[in-house]
Chains A and B, each alone.
Chain A
Amino acid sequence: MLIAFASIQVQAQKPLKFSEPSYTSGGVNYAFYAKDKNSIKSKIIALNKKGIFSRKDKFVGYTLRLENNVRQEQTGEIALKVINQSGVILYQDVAGFSMRKKGEFEKKYFFDVSQMQPGYYTSTISISSAQYADSVSYTFAFEPTTAATTVSSAPSDFVNFWEQAKRDLNSTRADIAIRPRPDLYRKNHNTFEIEYQSVDKAIIYGWLTVPADKSSHPVLYIISDYQSELIPEYRKDVAVLSINTRGTGPSNQNYNLGYDQLGLYNIADRNKYFLKGVYLDGLRGVDVIFQAANQLHLDTRKIVVQGAGLGASVAAYLGAIDTRVSGVVLEAPNFLGFSSLLNSSQGFPASMFNSSIFQRRITKDNVLNTLEYFDPIYFAPYISNRILVGYSLNNSNTPAQNVIQFIDQLRINKKDKYECKNCGNTLNKGFYGFKETWLKERFGQP
């Protein structure tokens, strides 16, 4: 009944007009305490099935549906912000809502087609009531195939920078140690502890698991996400190298920093910046595979690098720079498209960079001048391997448009992308299922 009423109301509504462009200030963090995230269930339903619109569409937009999960009336506010792929705010609006106990609320947002430019649009919707506070993000596309690419070019010394970085790594002793850990052996797998040295004398730790039979095994090389420690992973017929890059798990000697500090370490100097170390930690991991190959029967022709979040950025870097890698898997990359990210997102990692700018410890230009050397979008054209990218259209930390821009920059013909409409900041079972199929194809396994 309520839904029917809402839809009648919408027919009379006029399309929303974009306001004069304004730029976000960034650095604003919503702080929510002691609220029940389950008290409201929110859902965004695009007005056409896939969230991809064209000039022929009568309506461009979506429906926001809220469900009150508590036995109590809820009233509150919905704050909407729509930005384009350059991070320019096109529309802002605050509206009230009220729901009876266990009731529903529906609001349709649709935009004036005549104002739309080809490209990607991200809406951030903050919903708050006395019981609930959360924000959701949703990206939709308007004639994306004709969208002009808005990616600025890489810094002119980008290639030189990474050539020099590689030389820095090569002049650092590796001291690779591969220690058997019989206490962690499994029936069909042997487990090894990995230790090596990377640039800035960082000691990096990880795990290698190898199926116990003597046949040659392809290698899945997993790189840790930002401060998410990897533990040994065991796979049938596949050797798995898991590396915790600096600042993560045991590899935190000299990098034992807080979650919102690690990513800012030496950000004023790109040559000493934290991410440079992380990327080179990842690069040296490939050397471990080659060192272990003969003794542990690793098939060095079949190495797939996989990373989630920050690990995805490292995987993209390896895919671009290391010809020994035969495939890369990027799971919900979030450290990418920095120039628009700092404008468009209030989630991590944008919040970390923005807060240091906000506290006037560093200027935004300074931050971006460093970050652009580490932006996977600039590695994308150099990637020559098979690639699988999984991302969510409503990731509220890093808008999907950043990932889509990365995919647009790939020059290879055979790229696989998995787009999840409603996965939030994670990915769904469908992605992981498809990834298994994809990995089997790369590894040549039935």
Chain B
Amino acid sequence: MKSNISKKIIAVLLTISFLQTAKAGFPIGNGRWLLAPTYTKYYADGYWDNTGIYNNFAKKGRYESDYFGLFGGVGIGRDVDLVFNIPYVQQRYLENGQIQESLSAVGDVIVGLSYFINHFDYYKHLSITGSLIFPAYPSIEQTYLLPGFNSTGGEIKMGLAGTNTNYLKDTYYDVEAGIRTYFNAGGPTMFFANATLGVPFNEDWKLSGTLNLLSSNSNTGFLTPTNIFINRDFSYFRGNISLGRRINRNITWWVSIFRDFTGRSIGQGQGFSTFMVFKF
């Protein structure tokens, strides 16, 4: 039973992270587009229970997902960007190498507006982003695997992104923190904070590291009579390292590995990701 609770929901988390590496906190630019198709392989062989103690899944259990995402944005003006994210997730739960459950579905579609409150000296940018979350899948099927909470939601976050011009010259950073809530009785309400530091080696190669912290809270606890298997109360701390290669002036190709360091009521995830960032 415990293992079932732990393996729920993982797909939701994936939609939140990653895109900072694509310099998402910087303005896209008036009339310009950004598109970032992403592929992420995620797996977990165990989980942290609600006291933060690690356990392996029973019967050599493993949770896997293949995540295909399209993140994009368009600069409506110098100070306003429209951003969106469309995920498609294939999930599997295996025991002793045998697939026990699987589900393929479009996940939560996110559409938001970023407003740049201040560009300071144009080397750093303070933004506020408000987004709406729409579940793009039909109601919950008879499976433990879910692509989301099956509820509309809203998110608001503040971001500060910039390029260092004095210390750590030419490195860039992107820090954001926000709150996301789902509009239903059990919530949950999530607090998250992400921080990225990027280091360009030369014109073509750059390395970036990101830390993600997420805490999901629900006043109904993680067991509810109606959605007994949906885990709404969990947290994790994840790190990733990404290597980016500039293909040309419009395209950068990134590869990334990530791992969860600690958590609560959640699978211990790790995996890799690759994505292209097109700017035009």
- What residues of A have a CB within 8 angstroms of the CB of B202 in the complex? 187
CA A430 to CA B34, docked complex, whole Å: 25
- What residues of A have a CB within 8 angstroms of the CB of B280 in the complex? 446
A446 x B120 contact (CB < 8 A) = no
A115 within 8 A of B: no
- What residues of B have a CB within 8 angstroms of the CB of A428 in the complex? 121
A188 x B249 contact (CB < 8 A) = no
B78 to chain A, nearest CB (A): 7
A445 within 8 A of B: yes
B34 x A446 contact (CB < 8 A) = yes
Chain A residue at minimal CB-CB distance from B204 = A188
Chain A residue at minimal CB-CB distance from B278 = A446
Question: Which residue of the partner chain, among A188, A433, A446, contacts B122 with CB atoms under 8 Å?
Answer: A433
CA A188 to CA B248, docked complex, whole Å: 12
A437 x B78 contact (CB < 8 A) = yes
CA A237 to CA B78, docked complex, whole Å: 21
Known contacts A236-B203, A237-B249, A446-B34; A440 and B29 CB within 8 A of each other: yes
- What residues of B have a CB within 8 angstroms of the CB of A187 in the complex? 202-203
| Residue with the greatest number of chain A CB neighbours at <10 A, chosen from B31, B120, B249 | B249
- What residues of B have a CB within 8 angstroms of the CB of A433 in the complex? 119-123
Known contacts A446-B29, A446-B34; A215 and B122 CB within 8 A of each other: no
- What residues of B have a CB within 8 angstroms of the CB of A167 in the complex? none
- What residues of B have a CB within 8 angstroms of the CB of A365 in the complex? none
Known contacts A441-B30, A446-B29; A430 and B203 CB within 8 A of each other: no
B250 within 8 A of A: yes
Chain B residue at minimal CB-CB distance from A436 = B122
CA A237 to CA B120, docked complex, whole Å: 25
Question: Which residue of the partner chain, among B29, B31, B121, B279, contacts A429 with CB atoms under 8 Å?
Answer: B121
B279 x A446 contact (CB < 8 A) = yes
- What residues of A have a CB within 8 angstroms of the CB of B279 in the complex? 446
CA A213 to CA B246, docked complex, whole Å: 13
B35 to chain A, nearest CB (A): 11
B164 within 8 A of A: no
A437 x B29 contact (CB < 8 A) = yes
Q: Which of B97-152 contact A (CB under 8 A)?
A: 119-123
Residue-by-residue, is A408-446 near B (CB-CB < 8 Å gives 1, otherwise 0)?
000000000000000000001110111011001100011
Question: Which residue of the partner chain, among A432, A434, A445, contacts B249 with CB atoms under 8 Å?
Answer: A445
CA A429 to CA B34, docked complex, whole Å: 26
- What residues of B have a CB within 8 angstroms of the CB of A432 in the complex? 122
- What residues of A have a CB within 8 angstroms of the CB of B29 in the complex? 437, 440-441, 446
CA A434 to CA B34, docked complex, whole Å: 20
B245 within 8 A of A: no
CA A236 to CA B170, docked complex, whole Å: 14
CA A188 to CA B249, docked complex, whole Å: 13
CA A429 to CA B120, docked complex, whole Å: 9
B120 x A430 contact (CB < 8 A) = yes
- What residues of A have a CB within 8 angstroms of the CB of B249 in the complex? 215, 236-237, 445-446
CA A156 to CA B28, docked complex, whole Å: 47
- What residues of A have a CB within 8 angstroms of the CB of B206 in the complex? none
Question: Which residue of the partner chain, among A215, A440, A441, contacts B248 with CB atoms under 8 Å?
Answer: A215
- What residues of A have a CB within 8 angstroms of the CB of B27 in the complex? 437
B224 within 8 A of A: no
Chain A residue at minimal CB-CB distance from B249 = A237
Question: Which residue of the partner chain, among B30, B31, B122, contacts A434 with CB atoms under 8 Å?
Answer: B122
A217 to chain B, nearest CB (A): 9
B248 x A430 contact (CB < 8 A) = no
A434 x B119 contact (CB < 8 A) = yes
A348 to chain B, nearest CB (A): 27
Known contacts A441-B29, A445-B249, A446-B34; A430 and B121 CB within 8 A of each other: yes
B55 within 8 A of A: no
Q: Which of B199-241 contact A (CB under 8 A)?
A: 202-203
CA A429 to CA B119, docked complex, whole Å: 12
CA A440 to CA B30, docked complex, whole Å: 10
CA A327 to CA B25, docked complex, whole Å: 28
B41 within 8 A of A: no
Question: Which residue of the partner chain, among A188, A437, A440, contacts B203 with CB atoms under 8 Å?
Answer: A188
- What residues of A have a CB within 8 angstroms of the CB of B119 in the complex? 433-434, 437
CA A430 to CA B280, docked complex, whole Å: 25
Given contacts A432-B122, A433-B121, 18 further A-B contacts (CB under 8 A): A188-B203, A215-B248, A215-B249, A237-B249, A429-B121, A429-B123, A430-B122, A433-B120, A437-B27, A437-B119, A437-B122, A441-B30, A441-B31, A446-B28, A446-B29, A446-B32, A446-B250, A446-B279
9 cross-chain pairs, A with B, having the tightest CB-CB distances, nearest first: A433-B122, A446-B279, A430-B121, A429-B121, A433-B121, A237-B249, A434-B122, A433-B123, A446-B32
Query: Which B residues contact A (CB, under 8 angstroms)?
Result: 27-32, 34, 78, 119-123, 165, 202-203, 248-250, 279-280
28 contacting pairs across A/B (C-beta < 8 A): A187-B203, A188-B203, A213-B248, A236-B249, A237-B249, A429-B121, A429-B123, A430-B120, A430-B121, A430-B122, A432-B122, A433-B119, A433-B120, A433-B121, A433-B122, A436-B122, A437-B29, A437-B78, A437-B119, A437-B122, A441-B31, A445-B249, A446-B29, A446-B34, A446-B249, A446-B250, A446-B279, A446-B280
Query: Which A residues contact B (CB, under 8 angstroms)?
Result: 187-188, 213, 215, 236-237, 428-430, 432-434, 436-437, 440-441, 445-446
